[in-house]
Amino acid sequence: MAKILNVHNLIKSYSSGSKNLRVLDDISFFVEEGETFSIVGPSGSGKTTLLGLCAGLDHLDSGSIELCGTSLDSLSEDERALLRNENVGFVFQDFQLLPTLTAIENVAVPLELQGAKNAEKTSKELLEKVGLGSRFDHYPSQLSGGEQQRVALARAFSTQPKILFADEPTGNLDSETGETIIKLLFDLNKDAGTTLVIITHDLELAEKTNKILRLKGGKILSENSAVL
């Protein structure tokens, strides 16, 4: 299978006062099309920094990242944004819904940015899939945390992305609600044939994916298949 994400010898540092803090140190791995892949580690291990680099939201110091067959280093900011808009979906711990838009309007935003003509129809179908068929016109403030994350899931899959990055998708949810969200995430992912990359500190969640990359102190601790 083709590699949809290929990371090679990645190094990333940040300046802190007079010190240079190396957050990621010589990271190499790849993710194949259609795979489910998790990046696991404690707080401060570099997980979220790695996600930002892989999605082209930040710049690495050295090494290389290819996303959907394109080297991110060779792209301008506008070209990176276009690549994300056409190929990448996101789910965040804090939902990141627009508070002044209804559920259906939040889901439709990425579709409208792409100029899709069927944005409302697609948005309704996805909200029904995640169990929010009766909540189209509700604003985020009128929804529970679990319902907001369902809207975020529908939005993430609305443009049929090739790869979806989920950063601690159950981090703000109780365990029962979190289990429901994870089942929905994997079900939607299977239906769409999307490549799924999950950033998490939850090993139980990570073990549901095909492969686990373990980080500690900015270095790879191990990489192995989680399930057959």
Structural domains of the chain, ranges and CATH numbers in brackets? 3-225 (3.40.50.300)
Beta bridge partners of 196: 36, 164
**What pLDDT, on the 0 to 100 scale, is given for residue 172?**
85
The percent of residues above 70 in pLDDT, for the chain, comes to 98
pLDDT at position 157, please? 93
Q: Which amino acid type is present at position 37?
A: F
The angle at the Cα of 162, spanning 156 to 163, to the nearest 5 degrees, equals 65
Nearest in space to 126 (alpha carbons), one of 145, 111, 114, 141: 111
pLDDT of residue 227: 46
Q: What is the pLDDT of residues 78-135, one digit of tens each?
A: 999 999 988 999 998 888 999 999 999 999 998 888 888 889 999 999 999 999 999 8
How many CB atoms are closer than 10 A to CB 85? 13
Instruction: Provide block-wise average pLDDT over 10 residues at a time, the chain (228 residues).
Output: 92 85 92 94 88 92 94 91 91 91 94 86 93 93 93 93 93 88 92 94 90 92 66
Helix (H, G, I), strand (E, B) or coil at 25: strand
Tokens representing 191 are 């239906």
